[in-house]
Amino acid sequence: MNDRVSKEMLAGIVHSAIKRGATDAEAIAVESTEFSVEVRLGEVEKLQEAASRGIGLRVLHAGRQASASTSDLSREAIEELVSTAIEMARLTSVDDAANLPARDDLAKEVPELELSDPEIMALTTERRIEMARSCEDAARSFDVRITNSEGGACSTVISRIALVSSAGFEGDYQSTVCGLVAAPIASEGDRMQVGYWGDRQRLLKSLDAPDVIGREAARRAIRKLGGRKAATTEVPIVFESSAAEDLLGDFFEAVDGTSIFRRASFLVGQLGEQIAAPNLTIIDDGLMKSALGSRPFDGEGLASRRTVVVENGILKSYLLNTYTASKLGLRSTGNASRGLTGAPIVGPSNFFIVPGVYSPDEIIGSVKNGFYVTEMIGFGFNAVTGDYSRGASGWWIEDGKLSFPVEEVTIAGNLRDMLHGIELIGNDLRFRSRIAAPTIKVNRMMVSGN
Amino acid sequence: MIDPIRFFTDKFNITDAQIESLLGTALSKGGAYADLYFEYTVLNSLGLEEQIIKSANRAVRQGVGVRVVSGERTGFAYCDEIEIDSIRKAALTAAHIADSPVEVGPVSVTPGRPELDLYPVSQSLHETSLEWKIERLQRVDKTARAVDPRIREVQTSIADEYKIILIATSEGVLIGDVQPLARMRVMCIADDDGNLQSGVSGGGGRVGVEFYTDKMIDHYANEASRQAIVQLEATDAPAGTMEVVLGPGWPGILLHEAVGHGLEADFNRKGTSAFAGLVGQRVASELCTVVDEGTIPNRRGSLNIDDEGNQTSRTVLIENGILRGYLQDKLSSRLTGAKLTGNGRRESYRHMPMPRMTNTYMLGGESTPEEIIRSVKRGLYAVQFGGGQVDITNGKFVFSASEAYLIEDGKITAPVKGATLIGNGPNSLTKVTAVANDLALDEGVGTCGKDGQSVPVGVGMPTIRIAEMTVGGTK
Contacts of B346 (CB under 8 A, 6+ apart): B37, B65, B307, B352, B353, B354, B453, B455
Q: What is the pLDDT of residues B95-123, one digit of tens each?
A: 999 988 888 889 999 999 999 999 998 89
How many Å lie between the alpha carbon of A245 and the closest alpha carbon of chain B?
18
- DSSP-derived letter for residue A64 is E
Q: What is the pLDDT of residues A300-350, one digit of tens each?
A: 999 999 999 999 999 999 999 999 999 999 999 999 999 999 999 999 999
* A405 pLDDT above the threshold of 60: yes
In angstroms, rounded to a whole number, what is the distance separating the alpha carbons of residues B306 and B313?
10
Mutate to test the interface with B, among A321, A410, A414 (most CBs of B within 10 A): A410
Band (pLDDT 50/70/90 cuts) for residue A259 is very high
Q: What is the pLDDT of residue A112?
A: 92
Q: What is the pLDDT of residue A251?
A: 98
Q: Do B472 and A85 touch (CB under 8 A)?
A: no
Residues in chain A with CB shorter than 8 Å from the CB of B241 are 232, 448-450
Contact A206/B at CB under 8 A: no
In angstroms, rounded to a whole number, what is the distance separating the alpha carbons of residues B84 and A156?
27
Q: What integer is the mean pLDDT of A248-277? A: 96
By the 10 Å C-beta count (0-12 exposed, 13-18 middle, 19+ buried), A261 is classed as buried
Band (pLDDT 50/70/90 cuts) for residue A3 is low
Provide the mean pLDDT of chain A.
96
In angstroms, rounded to a whole number, what is the distance separating the alpha carbons of residues B267 and B346?
16
Q: What is the pLDDT of residues A87-107, one digit of tens each?
A: 999 999 999 999 999 998 899
Q: What is the pLDDT of residue B101?
A: 87
Q: Do A380 and B53 touch (CB under 8 A)?
A: no
**Is the complex ipTM more than 0.90?**
yes
Q: Do A66 and B472 touch (CB under 8 A)?
A: no
Mutate to test the interface with A, among B396, B399, B403, B431 (most CBs of A within 10 A): B396
Rounded to 5 degrees, what are φ and ψ at A107? -60, 130
Q: Do A50 and B274 touch (CB under 8 A)?
A: no
Rounded to 5 degrees, what are φ and ψ at B455? -135, 150
Residues in chain B with CB shorter than 8 Å from the CB of A342 are 45, 55, 57
Domain positions in chain A are 7-222, 227-450
Residues in chain B with CB shorter than 8 Å from the CB of A263 are 152-153, 189, 191, 196
Q: Which residue of A has its CA nearest to B132?
A: A91
Residues in chain A with CB shorter than 8 Å from the CB of B61 are 71
Q: What is the pLDDT of residues B35-49, one digit of tens each?
A: 999 999 999 999 999
Contact A6/B at CB under 8 A: no
In percent, the amount of chain A with pLDDT more than 90 equals 94
Which listed CATH number (3.90.79.10, 3.30.2290.10, 2.60.40.2240, 2.30.42.10) goes with A7-222? 3.30.2290.10
Q: H/E/C letters for each residue in chain B?
A: CCCHHHHHHHHHCCCHHHHHHHHHHHCCCCCCEEEEEEEEEEEEEEEEECCEEEEEEEEEEEEEEEEEEECCEEEEEEECCCCHHHHHHHHHHHHCCCCCCCCCCCCCCEEECCCCCCCCCCCCHHHCCHHHHHHHHHHHHHHHHHHCCCEEEEEEEEEEEEEEEEEEECCCEEEEEEEEEEEEEEEEEEEECCEEEEEEEEEEECCCHHHCCHHHHHHHHHHHHHHHHHHHCCECCCEEEEEEEECCCHHHHHHHHHHHHHHEHHHHHCCCCCCCCCCCCECCCCCCCEEEECCCCCCCCCCCECCCCCECCEEEEEECCEECCCECCHHHHHHHCCCCCCCEECCCCCCCCEECCCEEEECCCCECHHHHHHCCCEEEEEEEEEEEEECCCCCEEEEEEEEEEEEECCEEEEEECCEEEEEEHHHHHHHEEEEECCCEECCCCEEEEECCEEEEEEEEECCEEEEEEEEECCC
Band (pLDDT 50/70/90 cuts) for residue A4 is confident
Contact A37/B at CB under 8 A: no
Q: What is the pLDDT of residues A102-131, one digit of tens each?
A: 998 899 888 899 999 999 999 999 999 999
Which of B356, B66, B270 has the alpha carbon at shortest distance from A48?
B66
Nearest CB neighbour to B239, from listed A44, A232, A407: A232
Q: Do A380 and B398 touch (CB under 8 A)?
A: yes
Contact A53/B at CB under 8 A: yes
* B323 pLDDT above the threshold of 50: yes
Q: What CATH number was assigned to the domain covering residues B4-232?
A: 3.30.2290.10
Provide the mean pLDDT of chain B.
95
Domain positions in chain B are 4-232, 239-472
Residues in chain A with CB shorter than 8 Å from the CB of B43 are 341
* A1 pLDDT above the threshold of 60: no
Q: What is the pLDDT of residue B409?
A: 97
Contacts of A362 (CB under 8 A, 6+ apart): A424
How many Å lie between the alpha carbon of B48 and the closest alpha carbon of chain A?
9
* A385 pLDDT above the threshold of 90: yes
Contact A62/B at CB under 8 A: no
* B1 pLDDT above the threshold of 80: no
